[in-house]
Structure 1
Amino acid sequence: MDNEIIYLDNNSTTPLDKRVLDAMLPYFIDDFGNPSSTHNFGKKSSKAVNAAKKNISTLINSNIEEITFTSGATESINIALKGLALHPNNIKKHIVTVKTEHKAVLDTCKYLQTVGFEIDYLPVNNDGLIDLKQLENTIRKDTLLVCIMWVNNETGVIQPINEISELAHNAGSLFMTDATQAVGKIPTDVLENNIDIMCFSAHKMYGPKGIGALFVNSETVNKKNILPLQHGGGHENGLRSGTLNVPAIVGFGKACEIAFNEMKTNATTILSLRNSIENDLLNIKGSFVNGSINQRLYNTLNICLPNFDATVFIGKNKNIAVSNGSACNAALVEASHVLSAMGLSEDESLGSLRISIGKMNNESELKYYC
């Protein structure tokens, strides 16, 4: 065990499921055709792409035409936010988001501010949840959309998505969610939750890196009103040009198929592991969980430990993979913007660890960790 890596950073990325790899391999070597080509090799790849879209749409309860492939959630977020805001037909100049969003949303919104858009960054309570009444009061007649993350990547806090979408729609605004940490782990029914736009990635759910999806609700959003960020070939109905990454798409579809079939079983097993390590760490006097205890993802524990430096711990324990925040900021030794927004001091934030458990972890690893 001393020489093995104990990987507890599954919110950053997950290991590839071997079944996903097996599904991908033929499309690297044998079935390598371009899915846009009209010959038989191309048609075979096109069929595989459509099958993957079917698996993805089944997982989130959408139509396959509502799925656009991207390089990941970050690109999906950029296409959605910039594409809607900057389209010539758009006259609304206000967007509502939250201070604890992923940097992909926050930095994109900051850019939009430089070109004339007004952005309201909602605060969160100490438990990481937004105040729904404050959201309702913040939405204006010229609010283009409300953009709020489904599951926070650092704390696992789950926002009340259904209520949020209802408030947005009642005011005549669109609702968009970054569901990167949610899809494949909890039910993410886009119809049941009245979602207009949703972004997610394969590598958070045991699929390959470099592939993600953008869901656009065909009943509420006209894709022609989303300005493409890149042009050339008109792929993906003109929204995202470029030759499709067939092996990654096939892997994405397989990961969604597996998640659809195994999500409930994984949730039960992982929750048990999470609770075990949480109970052990809470025995340390002065420790406390960051974020809502009741409204959080079953695999995530963000815990503040007294007289503790997370950066030093991570540096010393080379065979243990945990996080002191989001992977996009992992190289920066600074307080987490998420924990700061929740009211933690700088010392408390720097003394907090994010432990995110996956389906490939086991009890012996966690006991060793403690």
Structure 2
Amino acid sequence: MRTIYLDHQATTPMDPVVMDVMQAAYTQYFANPASPHAVGVRAFREVERARSAVARFVGGARSEIYFTSGATEANNIAIKGVAGRCPGGHIVTTATEHKSVLDTCEALHAAGCAVTVLPVDAQGRVTAEAVARHLRDDTVLVSVMLANNEIGTIQPIAEIGRVTRQAGVPLHCDATQAVGSLAVDVTELGVDLLTLSGHKIYGPKGIGALYVANRLTDIAPLAPLIHGGGQERGLRAGTLNTAAIIGLGAAITLVEETRDQEARRLAKFRGTFLAELTARSRAPFRLNSGTGPDFLPHALNLSFEGVDAQELLPRLTDLAISTGSACNSSAQEPSHVLRAIGLPPERIRGSIRLSFGRFTAERDAIDAACSLAAAALPQPESAAPGRAGQKGAAAW
């Protein structure tokens, strides 16, 4: 049976071009890039070629790019690395951040840092004015993602960047979900730290990148999480994953070449899918995410009235979709993002997340809508109505 893959916000299939590049790397550039012999030097040059590709993509310098095992590690290094320079400082973030940001902030709070978690509006957005109101004399970092991994909301990072730059506070931006669809330039965004991951842009898993502005490390180096051989200029010790780094360089180059055209194509497929679903579904549904220019073009989050998504998914044997972030799905917990935007429990219970990708065809969008419409059967509602979501900033 053919499976239509529509879970690109969780991970993307590797592009065959990237796979070919990596297979060659495993045989041609297998040496340790820190080794002084000719084979090691060749591997080092390929690593630096990939570093240049990432730097060009984000508008930074090659010396500002550090390779990690993925965005989760990169987020940890960025936040803990800055916080470690000023123990007990104050951090500002938002209620809809990825768990690798929120859990890192929670761990720092347990270690003595003050943390302010800003609420978001019904679309999942925070304003630069809200950030400005919660900056303090001891604020050491602001962390706001560029685009949300569940509802696709694009945050006004450039506006927030102007606020943090004026206040002299570093700004970290988790751009993992955004780099495949949006132009990312660290200067235009006004960010000091930015993270991304290879497996969200048709590259390999287990590789990511962290941008750290030289102006930040010129003041004081970030505190490393891992100590060892001094790789990545002392910030991230450990033998480099050469083949994955080369794969990341290839993947990010492909994104750079196709991003704008691909965004338009996928937005069209999303429209086709919604039109088909509207015409065929027996269960009324409501969008939890927007479809305008302030949202990712390929993503959708919606809820069926009277439908439990956990019961719906097993019936969709020909579709690969999810009920929320893949990082939380195993715990079967209600989405913290949907709670933060104020959705009632019954609507969260009926929510699904799907996203179109590079290898999705228009026929896939139509067939997926037909399959989902046939499987989404309303059940008697037993949950009491109510609304969740934060009303004000939470201070940990």
TM-score by length of 2: 0.90
Match of 2:151 among 145, 155, 177: 155
CA distance in structure 2 between the aligned counterparts of 1:172 and 1:8, rounded to whole angstroms? 41
Corresponding residue of 1:365: 364
SS of match in other structure, 1:348: helix
Q: Would you say the 8 A contact 2:88–2:112 is kept in 1?
A: no
Q: Would you say the 8 A contact 1:141–1:172 is kept in 2?
A: no
Q: Deviations over 1:219-265 (max 9, x none)?
A: 24438431111111110000001110010000000001111111111
CA distance in structure 1 between the aligned counterparts of 2:111 and 2:88, rounded to whole angstroms? 13
SS of match in other structure, 2:189: coil
CA distance in structure 1 between the aligned counterparts of 2:271 and 2:288, rounded to whole angstroms? 14
Corresponding residue of 1:344: 343
Corresponding residue of 1:210: 206
Would you say how many aligned residue pairs link Structure 1 and Structure 2? 366
1:63 aligned to 2:61?
yes
- The 5 Å alignment of 1:1-370 reads 3-87=1-85, 90=86, 93-222=89-218, 224-283=220-279, 284=281, 286-294=284-292, 295-370=294-369
Amino acid at match of 1:188: V
Judging changes above 3 Å, is the alpha-carbon distance between structure 1 residues 91 and 170 closer, same or farther for their aligned structure 2 residues?
farther
Q: Would you say the 8 A contact 1:72–1:212 is kept in 2?
A: yes
Q: Would you say the 8 A contact 2:322–2:354 is kept in 1?
A: yes
Question: Alpha-carbon deviation of 1:291?
Answer: 3.2
CA distance in structure 2 between the aligned counterparts of 1:204 and 1:291, rounded to whole angstroms? 19
CA distance in structure 2 between the aligned counterparts of 1:105 and 1:223, rounded to whole angstroms? 24
Judging changes above 3 Å, is the alpha-carbon distance between structure 1 residues 72 and 223 closer, same or farther for their aligned structure 2 residues?
farther
Q: Would you say the 8 A contact 1:151–1:159 is kept in 2?
A: yes
CA distance in structure 2 between the aligned counterparts of 1:264 and 1:352, rounded to whole angstroms? 29
161-170 or 67-76, larger mean C-alpha shift: 161-170
Judging changes above 3 Å, is the alpha-carbon distance between structure 1 residues 128 and 291 closer, same or farther for their aligned structure 2 residues?
farther
RMSD over aligned Cα atoms:
1.4
SS of match in other structure, 1:170: helix
Question: Alpha-carbon deviation of 1:286?
Answer: 4.0
Structure 1: gaps (5+ residues): none
SS of match in other structure, 2:310: helix
Structure 2: gaps (5+ residues): 370-396
CA distance in structure 1 between the aligned counterparts of 2:218 and 2:210, rounded to whole angstroms? 14
206-215 or 325-334, larger mean C-alpha shift: 325-334
Q: Would you say the 8 A contact 1:223–1:239 is kept in 2?
A: no
CA distance in structure 1 between the aligned counterparts of 2:53 and 2:162, rounded to whole angstroms? 27
TM-score by length of 1: 0.96
Amino acid at match of 2:354: I
Question: Alpha-carbon deviation of 1:290?
Answer: 1.1
Judging changes above 3 Å, is the alpha-carbon distance between structure 1 residues 363 and 233 closer, same or farther for their aligned structure 2 residues?
same
Identity score, percent: 39
Judging changes above 3 Å, is the alpha-carbon distance between structure 1 residues 155 and 162 closer, same or farther for their aligned structure 2 residues?
same
Question: Alpha-carbon deviation of 1:148?
Answer: 0.4
CA distance in structure 1 between the aligned counterparts of 2:34 and 2:234, rounded to whole angstroms? 13
SS of match in other structure, 1:109: helix
Question: Alpha-carbon deviation of 1:163?
Answer: 0.4
